[in-house]
């Protein structure tokens, strides 16, 4: 049970950490190859602006459009929906993304819609929205479902069929509709700028920052570099926790095996006296230690997977049942196998010293003391 608990802790914490770092990294896919323009006071996590700083849409776009090297501008309103107060959440419950209807593909890429009846919203001033598949599954939303956001009645026109975590938890709507719902008329919090052929992201970003003094222009590499030190620290912390847990498991198995060998000194001495080879005793002890690792590791992987699913549900307020259907995404089978193999190896190593002591036992002294 000690080994099982240690394994469960490693799997639950390790898998949850890996999943969230993967989600943060995949955010950059939304604006691949584009410069992201935000207010200087905004904090950007990959592709998500944090804070309430806004940009005047028309004025900012006019200034950027006159810069050499700009091929296309896409104004975007990105809203993170977090419940405040006593129900403060560690991660957003969902996201709302306002995009001009003619620019869906430029931001969302070739994201398909679930089923054949749906379509992307087509009217900039209409009330149609598309929702991510995770939200749709959680609330049983389908094409045609009516919902209300901030007092505005909306109709779902399509369900985004995507594995991308951000989009699967997003409500995508026309930009003008999003500005009206969230009371940001004529304002956006970011503008995606596509460089023209022959111009690099870096040179264009520098030109934008020089021309428009109140904005920050971030290339794909810069957005990644901003969050990379944090991700490295999180991964190092995770590795440190795993190393400590494996070391404690090693000590635990070694202690238990030493006690087991000590309690059976007479049995091992008797085996030696009747001619059983000493390496047989060595193999018996190692086998027992490996069985502890196999049984404890198997139980730990199961308990740890359940723990990772539970942690994910607590962090996001998504029902546990919805996570169970996606358990192998949260805890990849390869990670399960690696953790299981590591714990079995650690247990086998923990049994080496007790096994050597058992195989080197002095038969005469042991028989005299035990009988």
Q: Kindly indicate the confidence band of residue 85, based on its pLDDT and cuts at 50, 70 and 90.
A: very low
Question: Is residue 96 scored above 60 in pLDDT?
Answer: yes
Q: What is the pLDDT of residue 86?
A: 42
Q: Rounded distance, CA 147 to CA 131, Å?
A: 11
pTM metric for this prediction: 0.74
Pairing label, strands 70-81, 94-99 = antiparallel
Q: What is the pLDDT of residue 88?
A: 42
Q: Are residues 213 and 264 in the same domain?
A: no
pLDDT in tens, 20-68: 777 777 776 778 888 999 998 888 877 788 777 899 999 999 999 989 9
Q: Are residues 52 and 115 in the same domain?
A: yes
Residue 137 is assigned to a structural domain of this protein: yes
Q: Rounded distance, CA 100 to CA 103, Å?
A: 5
> Contact 332/19 with Cβ under 8 angstroms?
no
Q: Rounded distance, CA 20 to CA 199, Å?
A: 34
Nearest to 178 by CA among 124, 221, 104: 124
Residues of the chain above pLDDT 70, percent: 93
Q: Kindly indicate the confidence band of residue 237, based on its pLDDT and cuts at 50, 70 and 90.
A: confident
Asked whether the CA dihedral 210, 212, 216, 221 is positive or negative, the reply is negative
Q: What is the pLDDT of residue 107?
A: 80
Q: What is the pLDDT of residue 74?
A: 93
Give SS3 for 113: strand
Distance of CA 330 to the CA centre of its chain: 7
| CA contacts within 13 A on the Cβ side of 369 | 13
Q: Are residues 168 and 89 in the same domain?
A: yes
Q: Are residues 70 and 187 in the same domain?
A: yes
Average pLDDT estimate for 120-142? 90
Residue 24 is assigned to a structural domain of this protein: no
Q: Are residues 140 and 95 in the same domain?
A: yes
Residue 55 is assigned to a structural domain of this protein: yes
Strand ranges in the chain using DSSP code E only, listed in sequence order: 35-39, 43-45, 48-50, 55-56, 70-81, 94-99, 128-132, 146-149, 152-160, 170-174, 187-188, 190-195, 215-218
Residue 308 is assigned to a structural domain of this protein: yes
Structural domain count of the chain = 2
Give SS3 for 371: coil
Kindly give, in sequence order, each residue whose CB lies less than 8 Å from that of residue 45, ignoring residues fewer than 6 positions away: 24, 27, 226, 227
Where a domain ends, among 199, 218, 237?
218
Kindly give, in sequence order, each residue whose CB lies less than 8 Å from that of residue 347, ignoring residues fewer than 6 positions away: 3, 249, 250, 253, 289, 290, 292, 293, 296, 297
Q: Tell which phi-psi region holds residue 275, choosing left (phi > 0), alpha (psi between -120 and 50) or beta.
A: left
Q: Are residues 313 and 173 in the same domain?
A: no
Average pLDDT estimate for 258-276? 76
Q: What is the pLDDT of residue 163?
A: 81
Residue 22 is assigned to a structural domain of this protein: no
Q: Are residues 89 and 184 in the same domain?
A: yes
Q: What is the pLDDT of residue 98?
A: 93
Token readout for 89 is 């959440």
Q: Domain range for residue 331?
A: 2-14+227-370
Where a domain ends, among 218, 247, 280?
218
Asked whether the CA dihedral 300, 305, 308, 314 is positive or negative, the reply is negative
> Contact 21/229 with Cβ under 8 angstroms?
no
Question: Is residue 304 scored above 80 in pLDDT?
Answer: yes
Q: Are residues 49 and 192 in the same domain?
A: yes
Question: Is residue 154 scored above 70 in pLDDT?
Answer: yes
Q: Are residues 49 and 73 in the same domain?
A: yes
Q: What is the pLDDT of residue 354?
A: 81
Where a domain ends, among 218, 253, 279?
218
Q: Are residues 212 and 297 in the same domain?
A: no
Residue 314 is assigned to a structural domain of this protein: yes
Q: Kindly indicate the confidence band of residue 91, based on its pLDDT and cuts at 50, 70 and 90.
A: low
pLDDT in tens, 161-189: 988 888 888 999 999 999 999 999 889 99
Q: Are residues 201 and 276 in the same domain?
A: no
> Contact 186/56 with Cβ under 8 angstroms?
yes
Q: Rounded distance, CA 206 to CA 174, Å?
A: 30
> Contact 220/28 with Cβ under 8 angstroms?
yes
Q: Are residues 172 and 260 in the same domain?
A: no
More confident call, 91 vs 14: 14
Average pLDDT estimate for 191-198? 91
- Mean pLDDT taken over the chain: 84
Question: Is residue 90 scored above 80 in pLDDT?
Answer: no
Q: Kindly indicate the confidence band of residue 361, based on its pLDDT and cuts at 50, 70 and 90.
A: low
Token readout for 370 is 């035990």
Q: What is the pLDDT of residue 371?
A: 58
pLDDT in tens, 347-358: 888 888 888 877
Give the residue carrying structure tokens 């999943």. Answer: 19
Residue 173 is assigned to a structural domain of this protein: yes
The alpha-carbon radius of gyration of the chain (Å, integer) is 29
Q: What is the pLDDT of residue 275?
A: 77
Average pLDDT estimate for 86-109? 75
Average pLDDT estimate for 106-135? 87
Average pLDDT estimate for 242-249? 85
Give SS3 for 287: helix
């Amino acid at each position: 049970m000690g080994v099982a608990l240690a394994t469960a802790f490693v799997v639950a914490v390790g898998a949850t950490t890996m999943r969230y770092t993967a989600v943060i990294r995949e955010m950059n896919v939304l604006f691949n190859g584009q410069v992201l323009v935000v207010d200087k006071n905004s904090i950007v996590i990959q592709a998500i602006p944090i804070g309430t700083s806004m940009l005047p849409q028309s004025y900012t776009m006019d200034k950027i459009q006159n810069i050499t090297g700009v091929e296309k501008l896409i104004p975007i309103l990105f809203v993170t929906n977090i419940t405040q107060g006593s129900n403060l959440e560690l991660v957003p419950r969902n996201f709302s993304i306002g995009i001009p209807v003619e620019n869906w593909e430029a931001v969302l890429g070739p994201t398909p819609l679930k089923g054949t009846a749906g379509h992307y919203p087509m009217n900039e001033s209409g009330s149609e929205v598309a929702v991510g598949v995770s939200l749709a599954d959680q609330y049983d939303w389908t094409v045609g479902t009516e919902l209300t956001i901030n007092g505005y009645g909306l109709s779902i026109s399509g369900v985004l069929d995507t594995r991308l975590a951000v989009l699967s938890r997003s409500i995508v709507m026309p930009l003008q509709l999003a500005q009206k719902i969230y009371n940001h008329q004529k304002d956006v919090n970011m503008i995606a700028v596509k460089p023209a052929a022959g111009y690099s992201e870096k040179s264009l970003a520098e030109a934008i920052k020089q021309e428009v003094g109140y904005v920050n222009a971030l290339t794909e590499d810069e957005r990644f570099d901003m969050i990379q030190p944090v991700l490295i620290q999180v991964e190092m912390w995770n590795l440190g926790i795993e190393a400590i847990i494996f070391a404690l498991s090693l000590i635990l198995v070694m202690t238990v095996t030493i006690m087991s060998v000590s309690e059976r000194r007479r049995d091992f001495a008797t085996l030696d006296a009747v001619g059983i080879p000493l390496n047989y005793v060595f193999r018996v002890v190692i086998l027992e230690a490996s069985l502890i690792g196999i049984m404890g590791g198997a139980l730990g992987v199961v308990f740890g997977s359940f723990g990772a699913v539970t942690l994910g549900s607590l962090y996001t307020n998504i029902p546990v049942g919805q996570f169970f259907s996606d358990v192998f995404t949260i805890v990849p089978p390869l990670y399960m196998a690696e953790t299981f193999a590591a714990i079995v190896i650690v247990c086998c190593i923990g049994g080496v010293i007790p096994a050597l002591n058992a195989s080197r036992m002095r038969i005469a002294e042991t028989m005299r003391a035990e009988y």
